[in-house]
Structure 1
């Protein structure tokens, strides 16, 4: 059966990887998708660059028509049981923490009383974080760990920059709405 190589962004990639999602809308005007074909989904970052992770899926159903434009179809996927050692190792490397470094100690050992301001800023970016110190701590550690796993060298600077950007948006919105600004982390982490 033919193999189609398609690019995919992180959110739909993770939804497919987790099994939460098993289909997607695709442009089918330039490909002859058939039931039974293999689809190799290559994760790309926001800039469109490869992120060295992939999924293999088998097309189990193709929906065309029924209100869809002629150039679009819905591909339903089943699991691809072909084992790809390189993709598996890349997936494991991206998800693993090889040793407890000083940076990881800083992230994982963060006391909950230091997490309130960060949690406030994360809420301004749309995250739903309950207003309990344990929840704020968990959300903050999860967010910091995500930055660490994305870039183990620059995670702190990247997280601080994201906080500064959120703080500026919050400050602008609060000043316009209320004439004053609540507490927020002004110096990043």
Structure 2
């Protein structure tokens, strides 16, 4: 077995590696039966379809995600899919495509219910900005900087902020998520250099 000849990366057992090798051999013989899936030794899980394509485009096991830790899973909505990797998942939806959601973005997205919350599915990968990062979702965005942390912004407040020049403009990065005002109807976001209110 390959595990007898090569070092097994941390996080996997010899049994995992041997299972992955057996799956790779079966996969090679049955490409016509299950097209679109791939096993990445020593991980004994298949990565399929658009998630596999995204994973490979990022570098596969050599990317920041490292190896898969699950097969493809159906999301609670019954439509989207996800595969978990050692450093985070890749989510797929028909509307948004396949995108990794990791670190601060995954934590913040989780606070609002992942794809079942108001942010819904990701529509971009993480985007590097001047002094921070962002990721766009169907319902809004998450912005992160080392000084402000990760915060959500959406709707008309996001539109108005964009008109001021986004994070590079007058207001800088958001410093809060959207806050419901005491009247229960209005909303606000605080920024490094100001506030936007909506009602």
TM-score tier (shorter) = under 0.3
- In proportion to residue count, which structure has more helix? 1
Between structures 1 and 2, the one with greater strand share: 2
Q: Which has the higher contact order (CA 8 A, sep 6+)?
A: 1
State the TM-score, normalizing by the size of structure 2. Answer: 0.19
| Structure-1-length-normalised TM-score | 0.20
